[in-house]
Structure 1
Amino acid sequence: MTPLTDTDGAPLLSAVPAAGDRRRHPAPAHLRFFHGPMDCGKSTLALQVDHNQSRQGRRGLLLTQGDRSAQPQISSRVGLCREALEVAAGTDLRLLVRASWAAGDRVDYLIVDEAQFLTAAQVDQLAELVDESHVDVYAFGLTTDFRARLFPGTQRLLEVADDVQRIQVEVLCWCGLPGLLNARVVDGEMVREGETVVVADTAPTPAPDERDADVHYQVLCRRHHVLGQLGPTAAGPGQLALR
């Protein structure tokens, strides 16, 4: 059978790679963003995605910034944790990946927890890794800060991500309605002013010094966030207090 050729005699199918050869035509990568309020299980999902990817032979990097444990790791409230690279506002995420390549390590995907703390420039770096280097990126972050405003990293991810999903694990306000917004609680009072980034957990913790303020977060429905009502306090940390 004579192969098809163009007018210059070159095979028309020469650009089609052999079966299984994706080096010249790699599969498209994607930037996926999963978001929600505190306690919605985003870090648990991040670790589950990493597990699912790695068990298929793929290799990835785990990145975080300001984990609740104050350690360079991704930690979940259900007890799961894995070591991760701590990034700062000035970290070029492209250089992290290139450093792994230079060391002879393959990078097929990135898991980025606490993605709300990324700068807009860092989100654009992730998009570049997806488009130019075919690295899949899975980013996980909070939707809004304690003032009910988008974090800069969240805003940019909503603008440029290929796929945006609100995490479906429902978080409840103390009243039983779905919790949507994060309230910052300082010494038992909800506050609406202050630094955007103050790392704390959802469970109250004793201050190391009695002169220090007790700072934690509480997820509220929209109505009670507007009213500033934290609800009854009879229940233990993380539990509903209904009456």
Structure 2
Amino acid sequence: MAQLYFYYSAMNAGKSTSLLQSAYNYQERGMRAEIFTAALDDRFGQGKVASRIGLQANAHLFNEQSDMFDAIDTLANTGKIDCVFIDEAQFLSKLQVMQLTDVVDNLDIPVLAYGLRTDFLGETFEGSHHLLAWADKMIELKTVCYCGRKASFVVRRDDTGAPVNHGAQVQVGGNDSYESMCRKHFKELVWSK
């Protein structure tokens, strides 16, 4: 029986690496895995999921207009899909998360979604919010703060390196713009301002 999984964490916990390894495991066993990623994140090229350690794979793109059920159903009409992987799942809309529950419940295809839980202000992304509410299984991938504690939050930094506590929720970036931190250090930099 298929299920919807949500693998979540702060940045630099290995979400994309885990996704790519799991997709490879399916493919190595002769099974079909389809990968999707957000069109707005093109740091590694359009239609690519890449990890910081050098792994990468081609992916279908989704944006705010994408119908995830129709896209996956269309792919399934060309042959059995054994698993669907979603990278950057925090960028899904509420409707798209609902569509993924339909993929699981009506097409009987497991969906493994990977994404950030919260933004640079400590607020959930729309996609993450609904994945946390509706996923069958939730798995936290862990990373560490510079102090050694578990990092659960992400601090956005401006061009000068100063922490940011206002602005648009979505700003694509990597280690140059964001740093994972424990709650204590996140609060000191973001919530105390």
Query: TM-score if structure 2 supplies the norm length?
Result: 0.92
Q: Determine the C-alpha separation between the residues in 2 that align with 1:163 and 1:62.
A: 19
Residue 54 (structure 1) aligns with: 27
Aligned with 2:70 (options 95, 103, 119): 95
Which amino acid in structure 1 is aligned with residue 162 of structure 2? E
Other-structure match for 2:101: 127
Alpha-carbon distance change, 142 to 67 in structure 1, aligned in 2, over 3 angstroms:
farther
How much has 1:51 moved relative to structure 2?
1.1
Unaligned runs of 5+ in 2: none
Identity of aligned residues (%): 34
- Verify: 1:154 aligned to 2:115, yes or no: no
Number of residue pairs aligned between Structure 1 and Structure 2: 187
**CA displacement 1:80-129 (0-9 Å, x = unmatched):** 00010111011001111232234x23222110010010001000100001
Q: What TM-score, normalized to structure 1?
A: 0.74
Q: SS at 1:228's partner residue? A: helix
Residue matched to 1:194:
167
**Cα distance between partner residues in 1 of 2:144 and 2:135:** 27
Partner of 1:237: none
Deviation at 1:139, TM superposition (A): 0.5
Of 208, 213, 217 in structure 1, the residue corresponding to residue 178 of structure 2 is 217
> What is the root-mean-square deviation in Å for CA atoms of aligned residues?
1.4
Whether the 8 Å contact between 1:29 and 1:135 is mirrored in structure 2 is: yes
Greater CA drift, 58-67 or 188-197: 58-67
Distance in structure 2 (CA, Å) of the matches to 1:101 and 1:80 = 26
Q: Distance in 1 between matches of 2:9 and 2:90?
A: 11
Between Structure 1 and Structure 2, the one with more helix by share is 2
Q: Is the 8 A contact 1:171 1:178 kept in 2?
A: yes
For structure 1, list consecutive stretches of 5 or more residues without a partner in the other structure.
1-27, 205-215, 230-243
* Pair 107,81 (structure 1): closer, same or farther in 2 beyond 3 Å: same
Trace 1:36-75 onto structure 2 (pairs within 5 A). 36-65=9-38, 66-75=41-50
Q: Which has the higher strand share?
A: 2
Tell me, in whole angstroms, the C-alpha distance in 2 between the residues paired with 1:151 and 1:172. 21
Higher relative contact order at CA 8 Å, sep ≥6: structure 1 or structure 2? 2
In the alignment, the residues of structure 2 paired with residue 32 and residue 101 of structure 1 have an alpha-carbon distance, to the nearest angstrom, of 19
